[in-house]
Structure 1
Amino acid sequence: MALIYMRKAATSDIDAIMQVIDEAKALLKADGSTQWQDGHPDRDMLLEDIAKGFARVLIVDGDVAGTATLMTTDDPNYNEIEGAWQDTMDTYSTIHRIAISAKYRGMKLSKFFFTNLISDTYAQGIRHMRIDTHKLNKRMQHLAEEFGFEYTGIIYVPDAIDGKRLAYELSI
């Protein structure tokens, strides 16, 4: 069995994180999705996530096998929703920019990663989570629903091609 764990990302992880992100961009493009095809997430955005303590990496036998951003501050993109959030009063975390390296696809690591992100949120005393994804990102929709996230409506994010996103919420 491989040693698998999640930790906060460090600046020294940025090249490995960018490799994972670039592989995910290629996968999304191959799926016909415009998500992440406008240049983001980019290096500066991910370095900012690291500086704020939001970036996480999934480590498999010492290698960066995945990356995610676990925001624990309000996401301004979620202020307006076509639909309704279940909880508008409590603090929530948001999973953004999650991706698994092509080298590790098919190993069910996204489930391991999600479990760790949920546990990290819970350990911080936060009991609500949100996530959004493009309508063509069926992998992320399936994963979110598998973990009990409920579809709540449509939000819009800054994206030069198509900023419309399906929004999901989970109470833990």
Structure 2
Amino acid sequence: MISEIKFRKATQDDSDKIWKILQQAIERRRLDNSQQWQNGYPNPETVHSDIEKQIGYVLEENDNVVVYSAVILNDEPAYENIEGKWLSDGDFNVVNRLAVSDEVAGKGYATEIFRRIEDLSRQNGIFSVKVDTNFDNAAMLHILKKLDYTYCGEVYLAGGERKAFEKLL
């Protein structure tokens, strides 16, 4: 069967599934000995808020939500104080809280949602995507390298140092 993959804004009907996917990702980070997401964030309130603000997006395969990410225009205060230098100073989208369900982990779905977010950005006249991740999140660091994101320096979020990346589209 050929699967159909859709990229769309998340709705409140998706929130339980999104939270389940985030919990799976939180556990994968823990098993990878990563410190990322081990302090009660993200949580169900984060998901609800993302959906309410219309910044939550999902990839669904055959009507089953399998990936979640927040996409935020120009709004990450921590990015103003980078130890390093961004590639650009214009409008940008931030990719936050990207999580892949266990059922599709390791099968290229994180790469696919990044491609869809990049397409969405271009369609809206945004030619920069910024993202940060923990120094010990090997899976995300691998994806960012594969997709030609440029390491720009360090930012500080939630009490921790994070590696910051940018891709010009």
Q: State the TM-score bracket (shorter-chain normalisation).
A: over 0.9
Q: CA deviation at 1:74?
A: 2.2
Moved more, 122-131 or 16-25: 122-131
Counterpart-to-counterpart distance in 1, 2:145 and 2:106: 18
Residues 32-43 of structure 1 mapped to structure 2, 5 A cutoff:
32-43=33-44
* Paired letter, 1:55: G
Counterpart-to-counterpart distance in 1, 2:106 and 2:127: 30
Look up the SS of the partner of 2:139 in the other structure.
helix
2:64 counterpart of 1:63: yes
Segments of 5+ residues of structure 2 without an aligned counterpart are none
Identify the residue that residue 112 of structure 1 maps to in structure 2: 112
Counterpart-to-counterpart distance in 2, 1:74 and 1:27: 27
Counterpart-to-counterpart distance in 2, 1:106 and 1:135: 19
Counterpart-to-counterpart distance in 1, 2:18 and 2:75: 24
Counterpart-to-counterpart distance in 2, 1:77 and 1:83: 13
Identify the residue that residue 154 of structure 1 maps to in structure 2: 154
Look up the SS of the partner of 1:104 in the other structure.
coil
Q: Aligned Cα RMSD in Å?
A: 0.9
Counterpart-to-counterpart distance in 1, 2:79 and 2:139: 22
Q: CA deviation at 1:107?
A: 2.0
Counterpart-to-counterpart distance in 2, 1:47 and 1:127: 28
* Paired letter, 2:87: Q
Q: CA deviation at 1:43?
A: 1.1
Identify the residue that residue 10 of structure 2 maps to in structure 1: 9
Look up the SS of the partner of 2:103 in the other structure.
helix
Segments of 5+ residues of structure 1 without an aligned counterpart are none
Identify the residue that residue 167 of structure 1 maps to in structure 2: 164
Q: Which runs of 4+ in 1 moved over 3 A?
A: none
Residues 18-29 of structure 1 mapped to structure 2, 5 A cutoff:
18-29=19-30
TM-score (norm 2): 0.96
Identify the residue that residue 96 of structure 1 maps to in structure 2: 96
Counterpart-to-counterpart distance in 2, 1:109 and 1:74: 25
Provide closer, same or farther for how the CA distance between residues 123 and 82 of structure 1 changes in structure 2, counting only shifts above 3 A. Answer: same
Counterpart-to-counterpart distance in 1, 2:53 and 2:145: 28
Deviations 1:136-157 (A, max 9, x none): 1011111112111100000010
* Paired letter, 1:143: I
Deviations 1:4-45 (A, max 9, x none): 111000011100000000000000000001100001011111
Moved more, 28-37 or 40-49: 40-49
Identify the residue that residue 121 of structure 2 maps to in structure 1: 121
Q: May I ask how many residue pairs the two structures share in their alignment?
A: 168
- Percent of residue pairs bearing the same amino acid type: 28
Identify the residue that residue 81 of structure 2 maps to in structure 1: 80
* Paired letter, 2:163: L
